[in-house]
Amino acid sequence: MDNIIKFKDHPPVRKAVESLGSELKRAKALLKTQETKSFIKQVEDVVHDLGRSLGLVLLASLEVSTDLKDKIGVLHKDLMNTRFDMSSFASTSYDSEVVSEIEVEEEIQEEKRVCFGIDEVSLQIKCGDDEQLKFALLELNELIGDKRVSSEWITDEGVIPILFNRLSSSNSENRLCIVQLLRRLASDNADNKEKMADVGFLSAVVKSLVRDEEERKEAVGLLLDLSDIQSVRRRLGRIQGCIVMLVALLNGDDLVASHHAGKLLNALSNNTQNALHMAEAGYFKPLVQYLNEGSDMSKILMATALSRMELTDQSRASLGEDGAIEPLVRMFSIGKLEAKLSALSALQNLSNLTENVHRLISSGIVASLLQLLFSVTSVLMTLREPASLILAKIAESESILVNSDVAQQMLSLLNLTSPVIQNHLLQALNSIASHSRAGKVRRKMKEHGAIQLLLPFLMETNIKIRSSALNLLYTLSKDLPEELTEQLGETYIKTIINIISSSTFDSEKAAAVGILSHLPISDKKLTDMLKKANLVPIMVSILTSRSEVSKETTCWLEESVTGLLIRFTNPSDKKLQLYSAEQGVIPLLVKLLSSGSPVTKCRAATSLAQLSQNSSSLSKSRKSRWSCVPPPADGFCEVHNGYCFVKSTFCLVKAGAVSPIIQILEGKEREADEAALSALATLLGDEMWENGSNCIAKMSGIPAIIKVLESGSIKAQKKALWILEKIFGAEEHRVNYGESAQVVLIDLAQKGDSRLKSTTAKLLAQLELLQVQSSYF
């Protein structure tokens, strides 16, 4: 039963069965007419046509069971040999005459059919049109199936070359029949296979690999049948496009074609060049097998080829999954010089994928790389540069931290290597130190004198080394502000300032400014040194007139500059603030409130908050006497109740900073909330809280502040509660916003941090929703 189901599901069989069904319908229609003159002849024609249709079924049934084919074959012969006795139908003299005419005509047709079936089949196959070829192929299949032709006849008539010749010029239906017939001939006789091994014949079959689905399936099946011949395997690998098409079939949806393509590729992979072609087509298993089990020369050949391939990330992933990493690491660890070099180059190509870096680290390659870098054997010197490069790539993965002393070993190598290797080691060290879980590693690096070791590199004329050293110093400087000033000293601080003012690389400027931003703000001597070096106008210029750079570098530069500007907006030094304002710092900070990263926005808001702390004392009262020039009308500030100017009183309102600060609170990112709220809080001092509240309300800031209570940090929530307490001191704002605030406040009182409950209670009491002395809190 299963065979019958599979038989029906075979598309060529299905097509032949449809033809058979059409003939059966014709037979049923004929039985209804029964016209005496032509009825008998028509019946016999229909029976023979049924036989031919069944023959098509037999031709298409190469892959069904032998038992089923035999049954079809018997029925096919019975139908083709059927003859009717005309005398049994003749009842009148007229009928006898008709019968005689029919018999004479049948004899002529029979002679033609027999003659076509035996003597002219090769001629029709060779020269016939598509329709003639179709029936000639059918007749040939019958002749072969009935064993009415011998192998010698097949050879003498040149059937195999003729079929291959017609394969390239026939329509799709006939091509399919030809390939199926060739498969039958190949399975019948080993000599026939040898005749098909000609490279021209094979090329014709290879072309069928890109045609219709069924033709592709039969073609790959034929090639697989022929692949037990060594010369066929050798020639197939050399036919252009063959391996590429086989790999495409292997990855296709047709399970039978995919299975046959896989077996054929496996057979062809015995040749190393074929294995390389397969890899270039994206099928890597044979290449990996050679890396694991091939000769030393084969391994080197595969590794070298792999190092030169332009791989996609998908290809790198496939190679990693197929197991290419482990044998390459073994080659590098225990192989001879050529094996080591080719393996390193291949691993370098594979290491551009994160998943493969994890595999590399798991394979234990880090220890082998460091051992090579420490080696003084002259023959291994050529390997040190590629080894350091791959180490730099591996260091980008946080999983390298499993090697606890790797950073210390790299530091000890820094002054023992060439500039190229130094740069790779510096990059690797920076990657390691930058990992979120690398706090312990950074501490150990400092304890082992990393800062003092790195400082001389700041004087390097080699820009790559200087940049890499700067980046590493920047990373390490985050954790040690107090000791860093002493370690840098005046000489290296000036060197860093010089890099900021003269470097043509924004990434260098970002690292250098970032290092200075990590130094203690309380060091007034350092502040004076930076001011004398004109660092503030230099930084403003860098951010207002920088060239087109990557988004990542721009972000880093903005974060570093705004970090250092916090030093120059210190609220305890009004002269320094005035100096900074005169250099155009405030418009720059306001702009960055809208365009910067969350870190940049936080730092910009911090500086503006520091400046705004002194605005009230610096603003000119309306009652003040103006010696010569009357104050401009547009200079009056309703918040500070006096005359304000951006450069002299640092007023947030006049600077246009209030709206972008509120927008920070309205946004999705929460990192800058606390700094933004601190800036708004400067507008709510004892003498101006009502004016400040009105300003914030006018800018639609109150809902944004309430929002912080829902999703902000504890510190931000605490500031927001303080601000709302000030704002709700005005009845107008209690009426307009009290209802929307109470829902959030009640939720905060019930579910919020215990440290906020007291302030929350006061605010609820202020909104007359709770007694101030309530025992609930």
Residue 73 has pLDDT above 80, yes or no: no
Condensed to tens digits (0 to 9), the pLDDT of residues 96-107 reads 554 465 557 555
Give the least confident one: 59-73, 101-115, 340-354, 486-500: 101-115
Backbone angles phi, psi at 379, to 5 degrees: -65, -20
Task: Between 28 and 44, name the one with better pLDDT.
Answer: 44
H/E element holding 689? helix 689-698
Condensed to tens digits (0 to 9), the pLDDT of residues 123-157 reads 888 888 888 888 888 888 888 877 888 888 888 88
The domains located in the chain, with CATH, are 11-81 (no CATH), 364-479 (1.25.10.10), 569-621+633-769 (1.25.10.10)
Give the least confident one: 47-56, 309-318, 754-763: 47-56
Burial class, 143, CB count within 10 angstroms (exposed 0-12 / middle 13-18 / buried 19+) = middle
Structure tokens at 546: 């920088």
Condensed to tens digits (0 to 9), the pLDDT of residues 723-777 reads 999 999 899 998 899 888 988 999 898 888 888 888 888 888 888 764 444 444 4
How far apart, in whole angstroms, are the C-alpha atoms of residue 723 and residue 601? 20
How far apart, in whole angstroms, are the C-alpha atoms of residue 338 and residue 334? 11
Structure tokens at 659: 């709206």
Task: Between 382 and 77, name the one with better pLDDT.
Answer: 382
Structure tokens at 2: 């299963």
Torsion, Cα of 526, 528, 532, 535 (10° steps): 60
Q: In what order do the strands lie in the sheet with 620-621?
A: 620-621, 642-643, 636-637
Structure tokens at 497: 């300032």
CA 288 to chain centre: 23
Condensed to tens digits (0 to 9), the pLDDT of residues 524-548 reads 999 999 999 999 999 999 998 866 6
Residue 36 has pLDDT above 50, yes or no: no
H/E element holding 620? strand 620-621
Supply the mean pLDDT for the chain. 85
Model-level pTM greater than 0.85? no
Confidence at residue 227, expressed as pLDDT on a 0 to 100 scale: 94
- Indicate left, alpha or beta for 13 from its phi (over 0: left) and psi (-120 to 50: alpha): alpha
How far apart, in whole angstroms, are the C-alpha atoms of residue 409 and residue 52? 83
Confidence at residue 257, expressed as pLDDT on a 0 to 100 scale: 94
Task: Between 1 and 258, name the one with better pLDDT.
Answer: 258
Give the least confident one: 131-135, 602-606, 677-681: 131-135
DSSP 8-state secondary structure symbol assigned to residue 584: T
Place of tokens 């296709």: 252
Residues in the chain: 777
